[in-house]
Each structure stands twice: as structure tokens, then as C-alpha cells.
């Protein structure tokens, strides 16, 4: 938890309590349904929560913004972002139902009212549009864009144009080249000065 406070200081008492509650909740749920590797659960705040909040360090979502988290897994980046932005709506989607059971349990456990879930594949969602698609290390950016683009409202109402924001790691040159996209790329180690974030990036593609 200290590592979150190291980089963000403008939290309400409620947000501090919500972030603090995540560790016990994730450990409890993870013992029943494994969504975080056992070696990573002890680094929950650095490797999962802070990593998710790299998005919050790059863009301040306005109240009422609608965001879909594709392939949310255990709720990343959606759950930390939903705590950070209580007036933003988050729709967390995964094709594996038991992972969403964990997400729903965590969201209820910390009292989040701005999170909805859906057991589906992103490409099967029809008749819904969002301001942003977010995702963390789910698939190549080419695939994320193919699934996400039809779900994004066109326009720009905040500091970044509506689009896809994804968190990825490693050498992305080949992946970006194959996608034929030109994402804006931010090195997360420039935001969070921790060893873990070397070679980890935030990518933004405008709709």
C-alpha cells in the first residue's frame, strides 16, 4: 500500500480504505480461484495495483467517462482505476466466468458502485459504445484494436482522444509494426521509478 501513496497523495479517506482492503480480499479470493500467481500476490500493490494506475498517471478521466476493460482477468486495470475514479463508469469483461466472480467479490468487498461486469468476448459486444478501451497484457495490440475499435465512441473530450489504452511489456517493435498502428508510447519507468517497471509501457491509440 505504501508504494501507492509514494506516487499518489490526493486520496480521500474512503479511497485509502478501499486500496488498503484489496490485499486481504485478493488473498482470500485467490486461495479459492487463482487469478494472480502465488509469487505475485505478495507484490500485489506494485505489480498489479500501481501498474494499473499508470493509466491514471497519464490521463485524468472526467466524471461520466465510460470505460471498458477487455480481458480484465482478476480486475486489472479496472478495479484500481474504479477506486481512483469513483465518478467514472467501468465495464469489466472477460471470457472466463470464474474470474468475473472474483472481480464481483472484490468490487462488492470495497464498496464500488461504478463497476459492472459481463461474461463475454469483446468482439461479441454489440450496441454499446465507450470512451476508452483499457487492457493489460491480454493480446497483441493488433488484436486489441480489432476488438476494441468498434466499441469506441469517436471524439475528444479530455486530454487524450478517445481510443485504446493498453499496458504492455518487453520489446514491442515487431508487435507494433505488425499492427500498422502508430500508438503514442509512454515508458512507465519514467512515471514510477521502480525496477519492476523497466521495459513496461503504456500505449494509446486514438479512435
Task: Pick out the residues of the known binding site for S-adenosyl-L-methionine.
Answer: 71, 76, 122-123, 136
Q: In angstroms, rounded to a whole number, what is the distance separating the alpha carbons of residues 146 and 150?
A: 8
Binding residues: 71, 76, 122-123, 136
For residue 26, give the C-alpha cell: 485478493
**Count of residues in the chain:** 207
| Sequence-separated (6 or more) residues with CB below 8 Å from residue 24 | none
Around Cβ 102, how many Cβ atoms within 10 Å? 26
Residues 121, 81, 199, CA angle at the centre, nearest 5°? Answer: 85
The rounded distance, in Å, linking the Cα atoms of 55 and 44 is: 17
H-helix or E-strand containing 26? Answer: helix 13-32
CA 102 to chain centre: 15
Please tell me the distance from the alpha carbon of residue 33 to that of residue 51, in angstroms, as a whole number: 22
User: Which three cell numbers mark 37?
Assistant: 500467481
Amino acid at each position: 500500500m505504501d508504494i501507492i501513496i509514494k506516487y499518489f497523495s490526493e486520496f480521500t479517506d474512503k479511497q485509502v480504505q478501499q486500496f488498503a482492503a484489496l490485499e486481504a480480499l485478493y488473498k482470500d479470493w485467490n486461495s479459492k480461484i487463482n487469478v494472480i500467481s502465488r509469487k505475485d500476490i505478495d507484490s500485489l500493490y506494485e505489480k498489479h495495483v500501481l501498474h494499473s494506475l499508470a493509466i491514471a498517471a497519464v490521463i485524468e478521466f472526467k466524471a461520466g467517462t465510460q470505460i471498458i476493460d477487455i480481458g480484465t482477468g482478476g480486475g486489472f486495470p479496472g478495479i484500481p482505476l474504479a477506486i481512483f475514479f469513483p465518478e467514472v463508469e467501468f465495464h469489466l469483461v472477460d471470457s472466463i466466468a470464474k474470474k468475473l466472480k472474483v472481480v464481483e467479490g472484490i468490487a462488492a468487498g470495497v464498496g464500488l458502485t461504478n463497476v459492472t461486469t459481463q461474461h463475454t468476448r469483446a468482439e461479441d459486444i454489440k450496441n454499446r459504445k465507450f470512451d476508452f478501451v483499457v487492457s493489460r497484457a491480454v493480446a497483441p495490440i493488433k488484436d486489441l484494436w480489432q476488438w476494441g475499435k468498434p466499441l469506441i465512441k469517436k471524439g475528444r473530450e479530455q486530454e487524450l482522444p478517445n481510443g485504446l489504452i493498453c499496458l504492455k511489456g518487453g520489446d514491442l517493435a515487431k508487435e507494433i509494426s505488425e499492427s500498422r498502428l502508430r500508438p503514442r508510447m509512454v515508458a512507465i519507468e519514467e512515471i514510477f521509478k521502480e525496477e519492476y517497471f523497466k521495459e513496461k509501457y503504456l500505449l494509446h491509440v486514438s479512435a
